[in-house]
Structure 1
Amino acid sequence: MPDKFSKETRSKIMRSIKSKTKMEDRVCKALWNKGLRFRRNIKDLPGKPDIAWKKYKAAVFLDSCYWHVCDIHGHIPQSNVEYWSKKLSRNKERDQVNTAHYLSSGWKVLRVWEHQIKEDFDGTIDLIIDFYEQAKGAQNRTEIESSSVTKSGVH
């Protein structure tokens, strides 16, 4: 099925997609209110982590179920299937490459799905705080172990 928007309209829609979504703003505000200080969407880091602590080599990605193709909620739009299939699979592949890059560079990575934030906001905030505390205390380790990590996991 062809795209229902003209090329110009589709281009305008795609240009309007930015970093710092409402979901990210809500999470960051909650973390800030709990006293955590961090940097957002650092352009010189691969994949521009949503939250990062360079000093502790720790990065958090808040992944949209749609754009990052969550196994539960991710889907390919019915219009322009070939384009979206390629686009979204490239996004997923890029996430894997970026995570591997961070891990091989001694960073800690936490990826959290949008649905996890929606289903358990307070639990997600606690998970990120635990991740930060462990990264802060484990500067010399490349992996963090946590029994409270959900499917997205700490890498």
Structure 2
Amino acid sequence: MITPRYAGCARGRVQRWLPMTERQGSDERSPRPRLETTEVVRSRMSRQRARDTGIEVSVRQELHRMGLRFRIHRRPLQGVRREADLIFTRVKVAVFVDGCFWHGCPDHATWPKNNEQFWRTKIEGNRARDVDTDARLAAAGWLTVRIWEHEKAVDAALRVAATVRDRRGHDRPGLRHGVGGVS
């Protein structure tokens, strides 16, 4: 039996959680398909981190060591439901750390054999959303830096630091030269 839970407010009213088939307006959204998978795969996929991944934390540490300060997990643009992993607000640089599987890395992406159509649609949708995000940010004057999870943290941090320095237009005390290979 499904127990009622509260999912927040919708148009000022608290609504009881219902299965998709019992919701009003269920014609608009169909329920997600039940994927054929094993418990081992389901368990592994549920443990995948969405934030604070190893590469993300390593890049943040390197950037901090270089003297750069930034915000983490923020939306660069109001009204756009896309969250950057790091943002440098003053110079309008947004950094996204993309997973090779989830974003279809050209070097390391693999196409699962099980539920192939679902995953192809999901990954291609992520790629399209990434392109759309880059375009929206560029239109608002932001520069996007994308880091793949397979990149070395030091190399990625150097690329981000160079981008931030270029956007500043001149050297400022906030970026220490000679630290971490930045010159």
| TM-score, structure 1 as length reference | 0.74
Task: Select 1:57's aligned residue among 92, 100, 116.
Answer: 92
Task: Select 1:87's aligned residue among 116, 122, 125.
Answer: 122
After superposition, residues 56-75 of structure 1 pair within 5 angstroms as: 56-75=91-110
Specify the alignment match of 1:77 in structure 2.
112
Q: Which has the larger radius of gyration?
A: 2
Counterpart CA distance in 2 for 1:76 and 1:16 is: 17
Task: Select 2:154's aligned residue among 118, 122, 125.
Answer: 122
Question: Is residue 2:66 matched to residue 1:34?
Answer: yes
Report the residue type matching 2:83 in the other structure.
Answer: K
Counterpart CA distance in 2 for 1:43 and 1:122 is: 25
Counterpart CA distance in 1 for 2:38 and 2:76 is: 33
CA displacement at 1:96 relative to structure 2? 0.3
Counterpart CA distance in 1 for 2:47 and 2:154 is: 32
**RMSD, aligned CA:** 2.4
CA displacement at 1:123 relative to structure 2? 2.6
Structure 1 unaligned segments of length 5 or more: list them: 139-155
Q: Higher strand share goes to which structure?
A: 2
Residues 14-68 of structure 1: CA deviation (Å, up to 9, x unaligned) = 4753212111001101111111100111046443111101221111112211111
Counterpart CA distance in 1 for 2:120 and 2:137 is: 26
Q: Higher helix share goes to which structure?
A: 1
Q: Percent identity?
A: 30
Specify the alignment match of 1:5 in structure 2.
38
Structure 2 unaligned segments of length 5 or more: list them: 1-34, 171-183
Counterpart CA distance in 2 for 1:105 and 1:72 is: 30
Q: How many residues align?
A: 132
Question: Is residue 2:43 matched to residue 1:19?
Answer: no
SS of 1:88's equivalent? helix
Counterpart CA distance in 2 for 1:109 and 1:22 is: 21
Off by >6 Å, runs of 4+ in structure 1: none
Report the residue type matching 1:86 in the other structure.
Answer: T
SS of 2:146's equivalent? strand
